[in-house]
Homo-oligomer: A and B are copies of this chain.
Amino acid sequence: MNKLDASARGVYLITVTPFTDDGALDLQSTDRMVDFYLEAGVTGLTVLGIMGEATKLTADESQVFVKRVLDRVGGKVPVVVGASAPGFAPMRELTAKVMDIGAAGVMVAPAHTLRSDEQIVGYFEMVGETLGADVPWVLQDHPVSTGVAMSTSVIKRIIEKVPSCVMLKHEDCPGLAKLSALRSASDRGELRRVSILTGNGGGLFLPEELGRGADGAMTGFAYPEMMVEVCRAYSNVDVERAHDIFDAYLPLARYEQQPGIGLAVRKQILADRGVIASSAVRKPGPKLSAADKADIQRLTERQNRRLAAIN
């Protein structure tokens, strides 16, 4: 299996973690989900992210789930594993285990206690040492969940100081200006070029982010074909087509981005599509009401009509 590198492009789909109705890991659904994502044309997968309910799994369950995904993927696309942890010992341990069974790299977000630029850069230097020079990793910039703001200059310093950082998962908002600044710095040769995949709001700014030089998306909207097709249209320099596709999915993508219940919406859609057997989110987690499900149904029907009209 090839490791992740800075040439990564396209859609790295952030997977959910399927559970049965009573909260057990659902490995059959895991297989079906992997097949579904691969058929949608994703170029990579990311597991054990925030939307993968990573912190709700036991250490053993994490191992079992990652192994199942890697086995099913069978080397067809690279698989990135979320490895953020409050301490370096658990981060090192998880990383060693998943790299050993075929992960392409790991993803690390800053610890929520970090504040100043110096602290943040120092933290990721230690991350680089902890993971080891041969483990490529993704820098996750997601201030909404971490509370840590990383400025353009901080990200540049991390990229300069830690060669094993090969990708930025860009989820800051406002983010378009940051994206432009980072991309133009590497275009001018002032900064090592890393891959930049965006995740803002489940892809809610995807066309604009591609316009600023993003290499693709790393997010988990329950219609991965949206991201795949928007990226493809953009690659074909058909920007209006990219927006047409994006706009057709936007009402539902927006609905899936409601803080608090977003993951439940995503799992409901995936269950409705037959991808996973149960929409269950592990406790503590939200449940959808009948009204929520009716909203999803209406938006899905409208989306289908809209897609029919533009294709």
Contact = CB atoms under 8 A, between A and B. Distances in A.
Given A59-B90, A118-B151, A250 B258 contact: no
This chain: how many copies in the complex? 4
- Please classify how large the interface on chain A is, using the bins under 10, 10 to 19, 20 to 34, 35 or more: 35 or more
Contact of A302 (B23, B212, B243, B254): B243
Contacts of A240: 302
Given A56-B87, A247-B306, 13 more contacts: A23-B89, A56-B90, A61-B89, A87-B284, A116-B117, A116-B150, A117-B154, A123-B284, A173-B260, A174-B286, A177-B261, A205-B254, A247-B251
Interface stretch (A29-37, A71-79, A288-296): A288-296
Given A118-B151, A151-B117, A53 B87 contact: yes
A161 interface: no
Interface of A: 23, 53, 55-61, 85-90, 93, 111, 115-119, 123, 126, 130, 143, 149-154, 173-177, 180, 204-205, 208, 211-212, 239-240, 243, 246-247, 250-251, 254-255, 258-261, 282-284, 286, 289, 291-292, 295, 298, 302, 306
A88 B58 CA distance: 9
B154 A116 contact: yes
A211 B89 CA distance: 37
Please provide the 10 A-B residue pairs with the shortest distance between their CB atoms, ordered closest to farther: A56-B87, A115-B149, A116-B151, A55-B86, A174-B260, A117-B117, A59-B59, A173-B259, A58-B93, A174-B261
B173 A258 contact: yes
Nearest to A112: B112
Contacts of A93: 58, 60
Given A204-B254, A243-B251, A250-B250, A180 B291 contact: yes
Nearest to A303: B247
Contact of A89 (B87, B123, B282, B291): B282
B260 A250 contact: no
A291 B212 contact: yes
A251 B250 contact: yes
B87 A282 contact: yes
A250 B254 contact: yes
A255 B208 contact: yes
B88 A284 contact: yes
A303 to B, nearest CB: 10
B86 A291 contact: no
Contact of A174 (B130, B143, B151, B258): B258
Contacts of A56: 86-90
30 contacts: A23-B89, A53-B87, A55-B90, A56-B86, A56-B87, A56-B88, A57-B89, A57-B90, A58-B59, A58-B93, A59-B59, A60-B93, A111-B284, A115-B151, A116-B153, A118-B151, A118-B152, A119-B151, A173-B258, A173-B259, A175-B258, A176-B258, A176-B292, A180-B291, A204-B254, A208-B255, A240-B302, A247-B250, A250-B251, A250-B254
